[in-house]
């Protein structure tokens, strides 16, 4: 860790962008787990991020030279309702560090105590919620979907109160290309502070959008929005294709970088259900599975609204209104083609996918399991051996077989392609609950095992059938939402 050079871009901008804050150490901290893959991104091995000096650093006892911790100011639309002042209530940015290859990562502590934006909260992160974010970000990354990464997870003896019960606090050390949110721009726009908004835009462009610096400055705002909208559409197309539901798609939880952020009550859909939501607090089902594409567009429009004072006209350009849908549809359809083992586009693919989703819904079929089973099917006398599928899916398989005749690859090639993109292991609810409950009892074996599986989700492992199947009838009880 001491070999890394640290800066903090936030301190190069206006004082209104952030405030200096010192982490509040946990009592008797210890490493629950360290993530070798994330450490490698920083050019480190596990031993270099799991020693006593690293523990003192991440707990806030003794920061490394160059680290200048800050909490940033932002606003956001929460469940569609605008809140003018949110900010990093339990996230503290230590700074940015750059690899020799030029890759820069911003590192945050989540759960390191009070900040000026904590409001009535305590700035702490319950252990169970921290475990969920630790695993969910890695599961998404392994599926090819951009997300914040978990560098390590600290446990402690610090007690916190949540909903009339006591829990232990944890610190999640997470990293991303950038934690910049839509809400950072909304904060200044809705305060009608145009000078600060303009300064924030120039600051963010220079730090995180170098591709714009060679273009005329008057084109920057529109091009900036186009890039962010395309990134957001691609991100949500990825979520939909793997059956992932974020659960809290507020504008303050959306990144400019197109990375998945703030994995709270999130989850992977198991039985295909368009109305699936892992968030029991979403009473209006605003953020359920089938709403995510439209909410993504809604959030992009909220960001565009925050940019109207920077654009030549206060009216949001029509091209932006079309761009999100076009990008989303293109990337979602291509992702589904790939999941079905199809290489060449065909005009009937949209109907093929829609009819599949309808059949999955009527069959209550396991979403991830279906695609793995589909890859195993063998042609038999001109037909698929498909009797193990429910009737709606048996009927759909006829259309699928007709579509495969337009492909030139062999069944073995199709199977190999499909197994490279359709996971055998996903972060199922009962597996996550099991890992959380074990961790709360001081046993991190399941946490490590589950992390290894979701980081390598396509390779079937002997003796791991329990981890690839839907929840058994007798399983661990569901833990309370955190």
257 in the same domain as 187: yes
Whether 422 is covered by a domain: the verdict is no
Tell me what pLDDT residue 102 has.
Answer: 81
| Domain shared by 22 and 168, yes or no | yes
Say how many domains are in the chain: 2
- Give yes or no: residues 193 and 170 share one domain: no
Among the candidates 336, 351, 373, a domain finishes at 336
Q: How many CB atoms lie within 10 A of CB 352?
A: 19
Query: What pTM value is reported for the model?
Result: 0.95
Integer angstrom CA distances of residue 24 from 27, 198, 450: 10, 33, 30
Give the pLDDT confidence of 227-260 residue by residue, as tens digits: 999 999 999 999 999 999 999 999 999 999 999 9
Does residue 464 lie in a domain region? no
What does the DSSP assignment read for 301-361? Answer: HHHHHHTGGGSSSSSPPHHHHHHHHHHHHHHHHHHHHHHTT--S--TTHHHHHHHHHHHHH
In a domain, 265, yes or no: yes
Last residue of a domain, one of 319, 336, 353: 336
Q: What average pLDDT values come out for the chain (482 residues) when binned by 10 residues?
A: 90 95 97 97 94 97 96 97 97 92 93 95 96 98 98 97 90 97 98 97 94 91 97 98 98 98 97 96 95 98 96 88 96 98 96 98 94 85 65 92 91 95 97 97 97 97 92 44 34
Tell me, yes or no, whether 171 and 187 share the same domain.
no
Pair (52, 154) in one structural domain: yes
- Answer yes or no: do 207 and 136 share one domain: no
415's enclosing H/E stretch is helix 411-421
CA angle 339, 367, 466 (to 5 degrees): 110
CB burial readout 151-189, b (16+ within 10 A) else e: bbbbbbebebeeeeeebbbbbbbbbbbbbbbbbbbbbbb
In this structure, are 205 and 118 located in the same domain? no
Domain end marker among 152, 177, 202: 177
Kindly state whether residue 351 falls inside one of the protein's structural domains: no
Distance CA 293, CA 335 (A): 15
Report the catalytic residues.
252
Give pLDDT, residue 409: 86
Do 29 and 145 fall within a single domain?
yes
CA distance 108 to 136: 17
Give the Cα separation of 169 and 250 in Å (integer).
Answer: 25
Same domain, 164 and 192: no
Residue 81 lies in a domain: yes
* Assigned domain for 171 exists: yes
The answer to whether residue 413 sits within a structural domain is no
One domain for residues 286 and 325: yes
Residues 88 and 187 placed together within one structural domain of the fold: no
The domain of 323 spans 183-336
Cα–Cα distance between 100 and 257 in angstroms, integer?
21
Q: Are 88 and 52 found together in one domain?
A: yes
The answer as to whether 448 is a domain residue is no
Q: How do residues 121-130 score in pLDDT, each as one tens digit?
A: 899 999 999 9
């Amino acid at each position: 860790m001491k070999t890394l050079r640290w800066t903090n871009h936030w301190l190069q901008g206006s004082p209104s962008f952030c405030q200096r804050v010192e982490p509040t150490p946990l009592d008797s901290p210890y490493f629950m787990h360290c993530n070798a893959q994330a450490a490698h991104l920083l050019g480190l091995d596990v031993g270099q991020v799991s020693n006593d000096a690293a523990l003192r650093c991440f707990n806030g006892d003794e920061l490394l030279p160059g680290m200048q911790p800050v909490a940033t100011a932002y606003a956001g639309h929460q469940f569609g309702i605008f809140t003018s002042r949110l900010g990093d209530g339990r996230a503290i940015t230590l700074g940015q560090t750059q690899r020799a290859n030029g890759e820069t990562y911003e590192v945050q502590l989540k759960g390191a105590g009070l900040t000026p934006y904590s409001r009535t909260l305590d700035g702490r992160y319950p252990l169970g919620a921290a475990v969920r974010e630790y695993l969910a970000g890695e599961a998404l990354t392994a599926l090819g979907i951009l997300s914040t990464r978990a560098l390590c997870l600290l446990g402690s003896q610090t007690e916190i109160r949540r909903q009339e019960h006591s829990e232990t606090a944890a610190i999640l050390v997470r990293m991303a290309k950038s934690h910049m949110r839509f809400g950072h721009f909304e904060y200044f726009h809705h305060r009608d502070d145009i000078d600060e908004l303009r300064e924030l835009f120039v600051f963010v462009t220079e730090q995180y959008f170098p591709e714009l610096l060679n273009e005329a400055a008057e084109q920057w705002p529109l091009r900036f929005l186009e890039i962010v909208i395309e990134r957001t559409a691609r991100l949500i197309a990825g979520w939909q294709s793997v059956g992932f539901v974020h659960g809290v798609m507020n504008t303050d939880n959306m990144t400019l970088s197109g990375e998945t952020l703030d994995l709270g009550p999130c989850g992977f859909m198991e039985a295909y259900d368009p109305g699936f939501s892992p968030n029991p607090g979403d009473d209006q089902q605003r953020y359920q599975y089938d709403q995510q594409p439209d909410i993504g567009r809604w959030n992009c429009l909220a960001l565009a609204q925050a940019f109207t004072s920077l654009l030549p006209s206060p009216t949001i350009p029509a091209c932006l209104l079309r761009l999100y849908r076009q990008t989303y549809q293109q990337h979602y359809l291509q992702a589904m083609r790939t999941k079905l083992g199809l290489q060449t586009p065909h005009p009937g693919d949209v109907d093929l996918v829609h009819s599949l989703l309808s059949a999955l819904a009527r069959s209550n079929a396991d979403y991830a399991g279906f695609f793995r089973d589909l890859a195993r099917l063998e042609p038999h006398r001109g037909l698929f051996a498909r009797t193990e599928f429910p009737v709606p899916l048996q009927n759909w398989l006829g259309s699928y077989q007709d579509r495969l005749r337009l492909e030139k690859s062999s069944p073995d090639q199709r199977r190999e392609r499909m197994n490279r993109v359709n996971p055998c292991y996903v972060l199922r609810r009962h597996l996550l609950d099991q890992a959380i409950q074990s961790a709360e009892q001081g046993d991190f074996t399941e946490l490590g095992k589950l992390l290894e599986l979701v980081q390598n989700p396509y390779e079937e492992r002997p003796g791991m059938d329990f981890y690839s199947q839907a929840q058994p009838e007798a399983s661990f009880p569901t833990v309370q939402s955190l």
